[in-house]
């Protein structure tokens, strides 16, 4: 499961921006629709999409909050990594280049572990179908975040 998640996240991370660009206006339109749906706030967006009972919400929201804290930490690391990548020059020494690549891959692996851990906990708190739905929503939002963060890259 962990390897599948890493492969999925790496695929989304590496192809998400390219897909959005190659999809033309359709890809950009979908990105804009998602941004508009998020305008009231991510938690409201998730609550509307999940359509949970009060009993499900009691188990869901603490796991959601923990996941968001993990995502925030990863986002900070990814922004710093992308800024370093954007500032990198062809004259960068091999060790620095290797460190930047290692950092980028470590962030992706940590993100995969976070998603795997969250899905495991979520599938015990709500139905498998709702846990999967939440996973899908978070992966979609992660692709949007990476697409936007990648704008700083040359």
End-to-end CA distance of the chain: 33
State how many domains the chain has.
1
pTM for the whole structure = 0.76
Tell me the residue range of the domain where 57 lies: 2-152
pLDDT (average), residues 24-51: 81
Write the pLDDT tens digit of every residue in 73-85.
Answer: 999 999 899 888 8
Q: What was the pLDDT predicted at 16?
A: 47
pLDDT (average), residues 83-109: 89
């Amino acid at each position: 499961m962990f390897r599948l998640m890493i492969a999925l996240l790496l695929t989304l991370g590496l192809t998400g921006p390219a897909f959005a660009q190659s999809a033309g206006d359709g890809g950009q339109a979908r990105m804009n629709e998602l941004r508009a749906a998020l305008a009231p706030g991510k938690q409201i967006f998730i609550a509307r999409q999940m359509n949970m009972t009060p009993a499900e919400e009691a188990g869901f929201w603490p796991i959601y909050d923990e996941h968001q804290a993990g995502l925030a930490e990863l986002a900070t690391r990814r922004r710093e990594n992308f800024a370093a990548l954007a500032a990198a020059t062809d004259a960068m020494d091999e060790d620095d280049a290797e460190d930047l690549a290692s950092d980028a891959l470590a962030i992706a692996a940590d993100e995969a572990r976070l998603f795997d851990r969250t899905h495991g906990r979520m599938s015990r708190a709500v139905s498998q179908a709702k846990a999967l739905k939440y996973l899908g929503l978070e992966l979609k939002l992660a692709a949007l975040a990476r697409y936007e963060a990648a704008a700083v890259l040359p």
